[in-house]
Structure formats: structure tokens, C-alpha cells
Amino acid sequence: MKLALFSDIHANLPALEAVLADIDSRNPDAVYCLGDLVGYNIWPNEVIAEIRKRRIPTITGNYDFGIGRASDDCGCAYREEAEKAMGKVSIAYTNKAVGDEERNYLRSLPTHIRVEFELGSHPENLWQQQPPLSLLLVHGSPAG
């Protein structure tokens, strides 16, 4: 079983296109996005459109959560004043750029996805069933 997991696109459409092309070339069984579709770059609506077009199951990242609620807080852990200042510019731009439909989509994203896959048996041990693969997909940590 091949899974493709990616996150932190941050509105970078050319990077997303490159990642998706690579994923397509590997032909995974399932693809999941672990959040942060928006922020820092100039293509938030286009990134959201591509994820939606491909129907990629996606969880909310901290930036998605803030923008989905039109907040001026991205939940980012900036340490230096210069980072904080640039972060304010970024979130203000993203809040202006994101359309209503895209904001509603961000607000609809779950905080986690639980998936379980039946793996079957090993070819050399046909009588021995593999336990299911259970995954909890989160952005950052399960603690929030």
C-alpha cells in the first residue's frame, strides 16, 4: 500500500503542481493533505480549487483555521519581531485575497482524519492475516 501525505502548501501553486505531478507519477493508493493550504503566498484560491478539484481529503492547518474564520491570528509561533510583522502582512493579504466560497471551504475542514486500511496477508504466510493499519492524520500534533 502506498500513501501520499503532504502539507504546508501555503498558497504556493507552482509548488503544489510539482508535488501533485510527482504524486501522480508514483500512483499511490490514497492521497491526503495535512493542512495549511493558505498563507504567505499569492495563490490561496487557486490552491484550494486544485485540492477541491482532485477531491483530496484535507484537514485544517492552523493558517486555514484562522483564515476560515477571517481572524488576524494564524496560530503561528513567530519568535522574532520581524517575523511577527511579516506575519501580520501575510495574514492581512490572505484574508483580503480569499474568496467567500474558499473561506467557507476552509471553515469546513476537519481537525483530523482517522483512516484504517486492511492490508491482507503476506504472500509467504497466506494463513497469517495482517492487522489493519490505523492512522490518525493531524496537522502539527494530536494535542492541537
- As a whole number, the mean pLDDT across the chain is 91
| pLDDT average, residue stretch 48-72 | 97
Question: To which H or E segment does residue 125 belong?
Answer: strand 125-129
Coil, helix or strand at residue 115: strand
- Tell me phi and psi for residue 43, to 5 degrees: -120, 45
Taken in order of first residue, the domains within the chain and their CATH numbers are 3-138 (3.60.21.10)
Q: How confident is the model at residue 112 (pLDDT cuts 50, 70, 90)?
A: very high
Residue at 50: amino acid letter: E
Q: Is the pTM of this model over 0.85?
A: yes
Residue 127: pLDDT over 80: no
| Percent of all residues in the chain with a pLDDT value above 90, rounded to a whole number | 78
